[in-house]
Amino acid sequence: MLKKSILIVFLILLIDQIIKIWIKTHMQLGDEIHVFGSNWFIIHFTENEGMAYGMTFGGGYGKLILSLFRIVAVGVIGWYLYKLIKENADKLYIVCMSLIIAGAAGNIIDSAFYGLIFNESYFNVARLFPADGGYSTFLHGKVVDMFYFPIIQSHFPACIPFWGGEELVFFRPVFNFADASISVGVFLLIIFQKHFFKKEVKAEEQQA
């Protein structure tokens, strides 16, 4: 299962980085591609400071703290995943953890290195390894997001307090392949948690 876990992580990282690098080197910030001409599946190039689904964690120090925290978190999850594999844990459980660690690592790559290897994307298409250097320093890069699914575009009914008449968009957040990998892993953990943790309890009882 170790080889399969490594393969899952490698493939997710590869796909994630190919998509992000293509976006950075072919689109300006804010550019959109309507896939199949639709208004519900849009490639919308945006960047964030490193949290999932476009959320931010303010300031330069906040960005550094977030990046360091995520590196430590990936290290802990990696150790736990290796432990699961050695203990022959449930295969689907291992797949879930592999998806989560791969997604987290994918966004860490952006935060750690994109500021060094790309220039800004505001008024031009970014270049990879620009001669005049990148737009930021190590661990201060921005995470590239692109998938936007505004499946429902409407307005809240006027009778609803506070939000009456306001624009309603679902699903509003713009995300990337790494975010999707984390979300799928967490979703599967929630769905199958009883199955996973019942096995762990039984294993602990047998060892006791």
pLDDT category at 51 given cuts 50, 70, 90 is low
What is the band of 101 on the pLDDT scale with cuts at 50, 70, 90?
Answer: very high
Percentage above 70 pLDDT, the chain: 89
Provide the number of structural domains found in the chain. Answer: 1
Q: What is the DSSP string of the chain?
A: -HHHHHHHHHHHHHHHHHHHHHHHHH--TT-EEEGGG-SSSEEEEEEESSSGGG----HHHHHHHHHHHHHHHHHHHHHHHHHHHHTT--HHHHHHHHHHHHHHHHHHHIIIIIHHHB---SSS---BS-TT--SS-TT-PPEEEEEE---EEEE--TTSTTTTT-EEEET---B-HHHHHHHHHHHHHHHTHHHHHHHHHHHHHHH-
User: What's this model's pTM, rounded to 2 decimal places?
Assistant: 0.85
User: Catalytic: 179?
Assistant: yes
pLDDT of res. 121: 93
pLDDT at residue 58, rounded to an integer: 55
CB neighbour class for 61 (10 Å; exposed up to 12, middle 13-18, buried from 19): exposed
CA 28 to chain centre: 20
Per-residue pLDDT, 57 = 55
**Span of 102-106, 117-121, 131-135, 171-175 with lowest mean pLDDT:** 171-175
Domain encompassing residue 16: 2-207
Catalytic residue among 31, 90, 132, 145: 145
Q: Respond yes or no: is residue 110 known to be catalytic.
A: no
Stretch 72-77: mean pLDDT, rounded?
A: 94
